[in-house]
Copies of this chain bind each other. A is one copy, B any other.
Amino acid sequence: MSESCCAVDVHTHVVPSSLPDPRADFGDIPWPSVTHTRPCHAEVIIRGKNYRSIEDGCWHVGRRVEQMTRMKVGVQVLSPMPELLSYWLAPEPARLLARHINETIADMVRAEPTRFHGLGMVPLQDISLAVNELEYLMRQLGLRGVEIATNINGVSLGDPSLDPFFAAAESLGATIFVHPLRPVGLDRLLGPASLEQVVAFPGETALCIASVITGGLLKRHPRLRLGFSHGGGSFAQVLSRLQHAWTLPTPMREAFEEPRATARRLFYDTLVYDHTTLKFLVDSFGLSQLMIGSDYPFAIMDTMPTERVAKLALSDAETAQLLYGNALRFLGLPSPDDRTARAP
């Protein structure tokens, strides 16, 4: 069996095949619905518009497993399509939506427990509800943690107002996968609407990681396991500048811990689409912090996410780290190699 059969893809999304519709109770809110347009295809409709056309890999366990095999991925980590995070809804409908999606993901994991791990979602517009839902999805549903956005209605993740949530995540051992959403800089884009995801997402993610570092989040919650999508966006290029500034006699030195050291305590997926950039991530963050990510099953996905790892020409042990070892650590799970090592 080749190493790639064990690859753990931490960046894959789910859209349920149907969503409840509580709008009779809550009025005209931007609640998403899923409309099936033809076999194996659907549209996510929000406020009467097609937000995204999707394929059945979004919800169909059999289709996912078939495509994973083709992609040489052994295990997928399931997380909601980020737009579903819905921090802009009132807390109560947001909680309902989160619960439905969390149960959907838990059902998918139960259907193929050796092929899937699940990350759910929590209504972070209400920290207390978010903490309750986090406890529920981990203890009752057996999910590994949650996907959250790079900002909560404009609040950076390093902001102390979110600390009660991160305290709960730390204490529950929750895995936190961070994905860009509602990025800054939209008014600077020129061209097709999808430049939001393509051009604005990397900078959004970079600002988020910077806020984690300069806001001291890991100092307050040192055992948090935070992973960032898309290779941390464009953060690695911000890091060299931030690290340099931190070495100067400025207030930064007192305000937060060494940026490079903190950056090397965070996890990042490998979804950067070329060898040069992947190599840059390895050199910037270290081999121990990178995990396979594909963005399955969306149009922009990397269809062969393990291929670029092979081109890095690493040792077998290092390759295993990138393909699954780091991901299992991020998920709070033992590595199969650890088990082997512990055998008599």
Which residues of chain B are near A208, meaning CB under 8 Å? 188
A240 to B184, CA, bound (A): 20
Which residues of A are interface residues toward B (Cβ below 8 A)? 151, 154, 156, 158-159, 184-185, 187-192, 194-195, 198-204, 206-208, 210-211, 214-215, 230-231, 233-238, 240-245, 248, 250-252, 255-256, 272-274, 276-277, 279-280, 283-284, 299-300, 302
Which residues of chain B are near A283, meaning CB under 8 Å? 276, 279-280
Q: Do A276 and B272 have beta carbons less than 8 Å apart?
A: no
Q: Across the interface, name the chain B residue whose C-beta is closest to A207.
A: B188
Mostly helix, strand, loop or mixed at chain A's interface?
Answer: helix
Q: Do B190 and A203 have beta carbons less than 8 Å apart?
A: no
The residue from B159, B203, B245 contacting A203, defined by CB atoms under 8 A apart? B203
A279 to B204, CA, bound (A): 24
22 contacting pairs across A/B (C-beta < 8 A): A154-B187, A159-B190, A184-B188, A188-B208, A189-B207, A189-B211, A191-B256, A192-B251, A194-B245, A194-B251, A198-B252, A199-B210, A199-B241, A202-B238, A231-B237, A236-B277, A237-B272, A240-B277, A244-B273, A244-B274, A244-B302, A276-B284
A302 to B245, CA, bound (A): 10
The residue from B192, B241, B248, B273 contacting A243, defined by CB atoms under 8 A apart? B273
